[in-house]
Homo-oligomer: A and B are copies of this chain.
């Protein structure tokens, strides 16, 4: 037998460790003689549609290790509307002699897995589908956490810890740091761990799981000003009022897309206008999912392991499954991978549970910090006389 061919397709925005999962797939593929080639679809599913496949198994080992540490998606990723194209995709998989397809992404991508599996079944061909989870937002269901989250969380936590040192050097303003995460506050919540850096961490954290109350926000900020002279506020990009309206005005509608202003500058402007106090806004945005220097070690390791587990699952004959990450119970942090039917994951958005958000809705619980700490890893502790 000639050996099986794997095709990896990236979907949605990159994470800091999407290439680590890709590395795991290629490295594990090269370790099994049953795998002939590992290909990457250039630019996501469109790479399959237009025949641009990259042979990753031909990489030499030194280059392969560097792949693990590259930001962005080294093969490109896509956000294509695939409805109606699944039968054509199956034909192209057959034509390109692909035996195993590995869509890598979040909830939407797991929906792609399910629809692709249906089209494969209808075509009656022998192609396996193994989903590889990936999202910095951490909103994939059925898993303890998603590859990509730990690094985004570490970036946000350490950066906020450093900003706290800066702000407490001269407490003359409130600094609002906006973090990504859309409807889910997982990354915002993780900034609470910045307290271990030695300056108390952020004073307030606003997550989209709680409706935004402008009066409560301004009262919270006034209290920080009165007691500390200045401080650090973390806000999720997805904040909205109780009726679901985003707290930022739409800047422009272009075709079906609506563009909103920045949450951080909106909040800092509120402080300036209503409290008459200095405020700054910081929005690292894409820097938070592209940073290589602030990746979480466990995240890199687990992302690779998820890729390797996907190859082993394929060799075991599995299909229509996503590789999961489950935490091993006990006091010492450890994970194991498992396989989850993609039907149980597709299009479900997992938000922060109530037990992780404090009563005032402006911070997290000790339970969340215990949960998140091993994913972020130990943060540096900074010397200060303040």
Among B44, B272, B291, point to the contact of A162 (Cβ < 8 A).
B291
Digitize A260-288: 1 where CB-to-B-CB distance is under 8 Å, 0 elsewhere.
Answer: 01101100010011001111111111110
> Can you pick out 12 interface pairs between chain A and chain B where the beta carbons lie within 8 Å of each other?
A71-B162, A72-B166, A75-B385, A75-B386, A159-B290, A167-B286, A175-B286, A254-B276, A261-B269, A281-B283, A292-B380, A293-B293
Specify which of A40, A284, A287 lies most central, judged by the most chain B CB atoms within 10 Å of its CB: A287
Chain-B contact segment, one of A62-70, A126-134, A335-343: A62-70
Specify which of A164, A165, A265 lies most central, judged by the most chain B CB atoms within 10 Å of its CB: A165
- Asked if A383 is at the interface of the complex by the 8 Å CB criterion, the answer is yes
- Asked if A170 is at the interface of the complex by the 8 Å CB criterion, the answer is yes
- Asked if A21 is at the interface of the complex by the 8 Å CB criterion, the answer is no
Q: Give the A interface residue count (CB, 8 A).
A: 76
Q: Are A165 and B72 in contact (CB under 8 A)?
A: yes
Q: Are A169 and B251 in contact (CB under 8 A)?
A: no
Q: A170-B78, A261-B265 are in contact. Are A165 and B287 (CB under 8 A)?
A: no
Residues of B within 8 A of A254 (CB): 272, 276-278
Digitize A172-203: 1 where CB-to-B-CB distance is under 8 Å, 0 elsewhere.
Answer: 10010100000000000000000000010000
Number of copies: 2
Cβ distance A237 to chain B, nearest Cβ, rounded Å: 11
- A residues sitting closer than 8 Å to B (CB atoms) are 10, 13-14, 19, 40, 42-44, 54, 56, 63, 66-67, 69-79, 158-159, 162-170, 172, 175, 177, 199, 251-252, 254, 257, 259, 261-262, 264-265, 269, 272-273, 276-287, 289-294, 380-386
Which residue of chain B lies nearest to A55 when distances are taken between CB atoms in the complex? B385
- In the complex, A78 Cα to B44 Cα: how many Å? 51
Q: A158-B293, A265-B261, A265-B265 are in contact. Are A74 and B385 (CB under 8 A)?
A: yes
Cβ distance A4 to chain B, nearest Cβ, rounded Å: 21
Residues of B within 8 A of A276 (CB): 254
Q: Are A383 and B63 in contact (CB under 8 A)?
A: yes
Which residue of chain B lies nearest to A162 when distances are taken between CB atoms in the complex? B290
Q: Are A281 and B292 in contact (CB under 8 A)?
A: no
Among B13, B279, B290, B382, point to the contact of A170 (Cβ < 8 A).
B13
Q: Are B273 and A257 in contact (CB under 8 A)?
A: no
